[in-house]
Structure 1
Amino acid sequence: MTTSDGTVQGRTQIHGTAPRNRAFTIVLLGDGFTAAQQTAFNTACTSFVTALTLTPPFNRMARTINIWRVNVTSTDSGADDPAGAGGTGATARTYFDSTFGANGIRRLLVCDNSTALQTAAAQVPEFTVALVVVNSTIDGGSGGSVGTYSLAEGAVEVALHEIGHTAYGLADEYAYYSGAENETGHDYHPAGEPVEPNVTLNTSYTSLKWGWAVAGTTALPTMANPNCAKVDTRPSTVPAGTVGCFEGAHYYHCRAYRPEHNCQMRELGNWFCTVCAQVIQARTKVAKNVCALTPNKDAVYRYDGSGTSWTKIGGAAGQLYAGAWGLVATNPGSGDLYRYLGTPDSWQLIGSAGASFAVGTDTVYGLTPSRDAVYRYNGTGSSWTRIGGAASQIYAGGWGLVATNPSSGDLYRYLGTPDEWVYIGKAGASFAVAGDALYALTPSRDAVYRYDGYGTTWTKIGGPAAQIYAGEWGRGLVATNPVTGGLKAYLGVPDAWKVLSGPGASFAVATDAVYRLTQAKDAVYRYSGKGILWARIGDAAHSLVAGDI
């Protein structure tokens, strides 16, 4: 019932190697596990780690997430199960006082949030989110300042759903509250736009909060409920993965909309939809996203993430490169390569000059000044390993490393072992590596292709483009119009693109948004996610880069 009914045993890190001050940190706390049942809690935590790291988009962000287990004993096993909510009437003396039956709904499992947060902070001060794992086979869970889930069948699915609430502020997308298909009082959502990023009352193309993901050919609303007296249980009338406005969400049958027909936030056992996945990606990243080099290249600035605030983090630089591994810059005089260490004016010399560099997920790659060899940074000092021969250009990202043959322009993929490369495609005007895909712009710039992931097979996904940029935001790819210079975003289906803005000198695709340097290079803008609305966040710059900075 209180903290006198148990003891905190200690903490154990069970996943992740990210620096503790830069990681997204999950703390799992056990409740209702007696001293003799701690092995069961440990097993439950391992199951959670496995499920999380195999579920998109978490599977692409494992390097940024640390997970800790905090073992806590309780006097009794289980949790309270009030008879008034349909339970057995059992009570249990547990450290976090977990109980089913909140608000009269048996599956609504809650705990003493204050005690859980205090315990998490005491054990892992840098924690981001706390989840309480309750030792009961009764189905239940909840999200809020603290997430909870039980050990019922499908428990890890409940855990993923609840972390969507607790860590990312996602709303329930189902159209009922207590579980009844035709429950009264839930026909029409009351007025007032929900604050959560994945539900809305708005169906306007220009102001929809997830407008960036909606094709112009998709009807809004996409599916309307024909009978607001009950939940619409029809299958989707549009192809799976279509983003639009599907009526029935936020516990109401009508006048509230969700982004896709189904999602982990609507029904367990599904992936997170496109919009929810974007929110998760953006909020999981603790590091800053964007850096700029001043117009005369005498200083490096990092965007602070809101408003128009920037922090000077370095002096003169020749060129900036960034990615999931971090930020590097070349010395404007010598060409030597320096890595940013996370603190303003703190940089480490890691290598000599190169023709170009590319930042991957776990290191940086370099092409020698004469372009006769490709090297991989070993991670310490200024030690590099030769991994390949001559190349014209190199490209890296979450998907991997590719290089072009200096004679033919043919594209090769690095297989992870020095001098092991495989031919995957012909020459292109440009290539772009996203978190989970590789894209190419044909030599004549008349088409954009996506690599299918095997052999030399590619799929055409778009028409003419002047340049392509890849990253973690949205579907991972944006391109510029060769005539107008305007920016368009790929929507994940061949020939489905959405206009985002007019022209710019350059663009940078971060985890949270797309950033634009104006044609005159006199201002930096950030995309709002709605229509073609951008916000000015900075002044003149020479260039922009996006990554974990």
Structure 2
Amino acid sequence: MSSSDGSVLGVTKIVDHGPDTSRWNLVVLGDGYEAGELGQYHTDVQAFVDVMRVTPPFDNLWSAINVHRVDVTSTDSGADDPTTCAGGTGATPATYFDSTFCSAWGGGNLDRLLTCDSTLAQTEAKAQVPLVHQAVVVVNSSKYGGSGGDIATFSTHAQAAEIAIHEIGHSAFGLADEYEGSGSAPATEPDEPNVTLDANRATNKWRHLVLATTPMPTRCNAACTTSSCTPPATPAATTLTGAWEGGQYTSCDVYRPAFACYMRDYSPFCEVCTEVIRAALNMYLPAESITLTTSSIDFRDIPEGIGGTGVTTWRAVRWEVITSRSLTFRVVTGPTGPFTLPQGGTVTVGPGAYLPSAPVRIWLAYTSASAGSTASGSVTVRCDETGQQWTVPITANTVARKTAEAVLVLDRSGSMDEDAGDGTKKIDKLREAATIFVEAMLPGDGIGLVRFSNNIHRLKDVQDVGAPVSGAGRVDAIAKIAGSQMNPAGRTAIGGALQEGAAALADGQAGAATPYDVEALVVLTDGQENEAPFIDDVAGSITAHTFAIGLGLPYNIDVDKLNRLTQSNNGYLLVTGTLTPDQRRLLTKYFLQVLAGITNAQVVLDPGGDIGVGEEQLIPFSITEADYGMDAIVLTDLPGALTYELEAPDGTRIDPAMLGALGTGLRVDRDAVSYYRAGLPVDPGNPRGTHGGTWHVVLRLDRERLGDAFWRKHPEGRLPYDVVVHSWSSLLFRASARQDTLEPGAEVRLFATLTEYDVVVGADRSTVWADVLRPDGHLEQVDLSFVGPGWSAAYSLEAGTGLYRIRVRASGSTFAGELFTREQTVTAHAATGYERPGEEERPEKEGRRPKPWWWGRLLARRLLRRGDRPVR
């Protein structure tokens, strides 16, 4: 039970207010945490720091303090709990600092007195942080306990933070306990600054804090029969600083400054203790400074909105502030021009703000007009406390929405005639998904088509899709997807098809009257390539954003090659797995997610369900003030059977007629999809009620709308559906998954970024996690941690071979306090049947699927098990 029972892993500076040479350095170490419990240790330390940060007077002195966390593992969990004290369990875990309850005190043992090897703790703290001022040890036990001395200790009891702060009062600032006990008053005046034997107004050690009207002594302990205390004629108010009898474990003849204090009962520190702490830390406070970091604000190239409503964007006037007091920044003039103050014109920072943890922001807003419009103005801000004043010029301009050209590279090899898993042929799934992709594209975006088997053919040059439903490019693309040229036949030439897709993008760019801002390839395949040129042969020539969708099981698809291709071109691979009836529209949802990635839209919601005859269902989703347009999409095989409306946050029901009258959007109804596309706010005359807040997709299945087709397909009287909500937004979420190997047990790194108006949204107002559907059907939640500008987590593919479908999700609140949700699906894969990079490609006979690299080895093992010899 010593340093041989664990190890010191290193130190992390978790509160950084400047160089250690000029700050008061608090070092936190852990004891009784096994290696697998370090995450809990980090949580326990942060909980303590969070409480200390807001506890007076540390709140006003916080910028004087650096906090360092030393990671220490122990062989066992917990602390010694001797039976010498009543209630002791007798536990003797092997821990690094040998922490123990029931330590010696006053000639006996005290159960709650938790101590450790303070010499070793001091040595390790100094080794990690040479300029340490105070070290504390948090002990992994929920039992109440702690101690002061050279090293402060505290347990993880519910009052852990309070225990720690109390004990630091002893160790760092020399404060005495102010509670009473059965002890006797000392013979001479105590050294501690917060207890005394002297209740005389003229000579008391804290007399400068005592009001002339406060009686001295202020209150006597009525239980004392030997007390020399003279009770005041009138009881004093408990808020006064004076001489209150009882303290330093003694009930009689010892006085404390206040009725209550942190050193007595965890009440706020009394005036005397506060003065002592402040005197010790004042010398470490940084000099106050205010630096304007945005000398001008430029709303540059804000795009036109969706449905005729402008895009509202925020930009902040920012200051970097170092202060140990509260400072208020106030708009005194402006903003002039079309600019507004969406969060008001006053903001207060501090006390204890230190760069870079607390930048000051006053937000300005601009709503775009028509393309080519410009605007200018200014705003003047003053700091009330310092009198400093800044005038910041503002400019803005509106540009046309960014456009995208996308070429769908579609597999029509012979295997696409197979069942997708739900009784529908793969080619029919492809046709439906690709059609809905085209239906949902925005006017001004371009669509091109390449189909491939062993023969590669450009079905359609890139063309503007045109108006919803009736646009010439849209109608032509949908017809070609449905046409006989997409009938399955032949083998699989993915590399050549990608080459042709890239050529189609180049031709589309050259032929466009206005260049497209984004170029994207979307390849769908259900097999492994077996015709040259191969993916690796052409990957170096692909520069467009590239997305891939694998239809089927991972081991049938060139997962490794497509992963490398897409991840090096700002895209990703999604694999469907076998499409079961409850995942019948997964391919379509994948296509819509890819479309969102191409057009910079955000996936707000992606639920599924079913509705019965006569029912009305309301599916909620969150829209924020940072969203400026939305698509609310319903996928179902019989959209005409549904009555579909939207309900705004104020309860307004929105239908196609209302949207048409407002001129801010439309509804599209097609064979397998119905969607509302609207700018925000939907009703410009009612911006609060029809913009940010909780919206609902409202679905009704009315009997009178049902025909024979419905009852033939759904004799049980329930219609399955999926709802997909996308938004165009200044609140951006992106997720990805990367794995270096495809073997079972491989580690997948999950990454996510979340920004609002170009400002990173961190753990203070958002949470990011992943729901992982494993190959065995088990659903597992993985929390992502915020590190620097993004979120990440490591996930091990330990559930065996197969497809891992990972739904990365985020929720939180915007700067304006409105709730948001975001999500994106990624996939990972584990199998032993992938062709490994660099292995020789072997052409196969027409009509025969290529055998994976492990086929011969598997056959050999089977023959050997039967007693035969493998064929060589």
User: TM-score of the superposition, structure 2-length normalised?
Assistant: 0.34
- The one-letter amino acid of 1:156's match is A
Q: 1:203 to 1:10 in 2, by over 3 A?
A: same
Gapped runs of 5+ residues in structure 1?
Answer: 177-182, 288-323, 327-360, 365-375, 380-385, 389-395, 406-411, 425-430, 434-549
- The one-letter amino acid of 1:419's match is T
- The match for 2:56 is 56
Instruction: Confirm whether residue 251 of structure 1 aligns to residue 212 of structure 2.
Output: no
Cα deviation for residue 190 of structure 1 reads: 2.4
Instruction: Confirm whether residue 18 of structure 1 aligns to residue 18 of structure 2.
Output: yes
Secondary structure of the 1:265 match is helix
Q: 1:397 to 1:147 in 2, by over 3 A?
A: closer
Cα deviation for residue 263 of structure 1 reads: 0.5
- The match for 1:341 is none
Q: 1:89 to 1:229 in 2, by over 3 A?
A: farther
- The match for 1:274 is 271
Gapped runs of 5+ residues in structure 2?
Answer: 295-316, 333-344, 349-359, 363-378, 388-872
Secondary structure of the 2:380 match is coil
Instruction: Confirm whether residue 203 of structure 1 aligns to residue 199 of structure 2.
Output: yes
- The match for 1:41 is 41
- Is contact 1:31-1:73 (8 Å) kept? yes
Cα deviation for residue 203 of structure 1 reads: 1.4
Secondary structure of the 1:85 match is coil
**How far, CA to CA, are the matches of 1:28 and 1:213 in structure 2?**
34
- Is contact 2:246-2:254 (8 Å) kept? yes
- Is contact 1:203-1:220 (8 Å) kept? yes
- The match for 2:214 is 218
Instruction: Confirm whether residue 419 of structure 1 aligns to residue 380 of structure 2.
Output: yes
**How far, CA to CA, are the matches of 1:285 and 1:74 in structure 2?**
37
Aligned 1:443-458 pairs, distance under 5 A? none
Cα deviation for residue 226 of structure 1 reads: 1.9
Tell me: higher relative CO, structure 1 or 2? Use CA pairs within 8 A at least 6 residues apart. Answer: 1
**How far, CA to CA, are the matches of 1:209 and 1:377 in structure 2?**
45
- Is contact 1:24-1:285 (8 Å) kept? no
Secondary structure of the 1:11 match is strand
- The match for 2:190 is 194
- The one-letter amino acid of 2:282's match is K
Cα deviation for residue 145 of structure 1 reads: 0.2
Q: Equivalent pairs: percent with the same residue? A: 40
Which has more helix, going by share of residues?
2
- The match for 2:326 is 399
- The one-letter amino acid of 1:281's match is R
Secondary structure of the 2:177 match is coil
Task: Provide the aligned C-alpha RMSD in A.
Answer: 3.3
**How far, CA to CA, are the matches of 1:387 and 1:152 in structure 2?**
41
- Is contact 1:414-1:421 (8 Å) kept? no
- The match for 1:69 is 69
- Is contact 1:387-1:419 (8 Å) kept? no
- Is contact 2:214-2:236 (8 Å) kept? no
- Is contact 1:99-1:110 (8 Å) kept? yes
Aligned 1:52-451 pairs, distance under 5 A? 52-86=52-86, 87-103=88-104, 104-176=109-181, 183=182, 186=183, 188-228=184-224, 237-268=235-266, 270-287=267-284, 325-326=286-287, 361=288, 363=289, 376=291, 398-400=325-327, 417=362, 419-421=380-382
- Is contact 2:63-2:286 (8 Å) kept? no
Aligned 1:440-519 pairs, distance under 5 A? none
Moved more, 84-93 or 28-37: 84-93
Cα deviation for residue 325 of structure 1 reads: 4.4
- The one-letter amino acid of 1:198's match is N
Q: 1:402 to 1:72 in 2, by over 3 A?
A: closer
**How far, CA to CA, are the matches of 1:402 and 1:54 in structure 2?**
22
Q: Considering only CA atoms, is the larger Rg found in Structure 1 or Structure 2?
A: 2
TM-superposition CA deviations, 1:472-510 (whole Å, max 9, x none) = xxxxxxxxxxxxxxxxxxxxxxxxxxxxxxxxxxxxxxx
**How far, CA to CA, are the matches of 1:225 and 1:155 in structure 2?**
30
Cα deviation for residue 225 of structure 1 reads: 1.1
TM-superposition CA deviations, 1:88-114 (whole Å, max 9, x none) = 111111100100001210100000010
User: TM-score of the superposition, structure 1-length normalised?
Assistant: 0.53
- The match for 1:493 is none
- Is contact 1:81-1:89 (8 Å) kept? yes
Cα deviation for residue 413 of structure 1 reads: 8.7
Cα deviation for residue 241 of structure 1 reads: 2.4
**How far, CA to CA, are the matches of 1:273 and 1:146 in structure 2?**
23
**How far, CA to CA, are the matches of 2:143 and 2:235 in structure 1?**
35
**How far, CA to CA, are the matches of 1:96 and 1:84 in structure 2?**
20
- Is contact 1:81-1:101 (8 Å) kept? yes
- Is contact 2:2-2:98 (8 Å) kept? yes
Cα deviation for residue 414 of structure 1 reads: 8.0
Q: 1:399 to 1:247 in 2, by over 3 A?
A: same
Secondary structure of the 1:120 match is helix
Cα deviation for residue 61 of structure 1 reads: 1.2
Q: 1:229 to 1:40 in 2, by over 3 A?
A: farther
- Is contact 1:16-1:62 (8 Å) kept? no
Q: 1:76 to 1:397 in 2, by over 3 A?
A: closer
Secondary structure of the 1:419 match is strand
- The one-letter amino acid of 2:381's match is E
- Is contact 1:16-1:64 (8 Å) kept? no
Cα deviation for residue 74 of structure 1 reads: 0.5
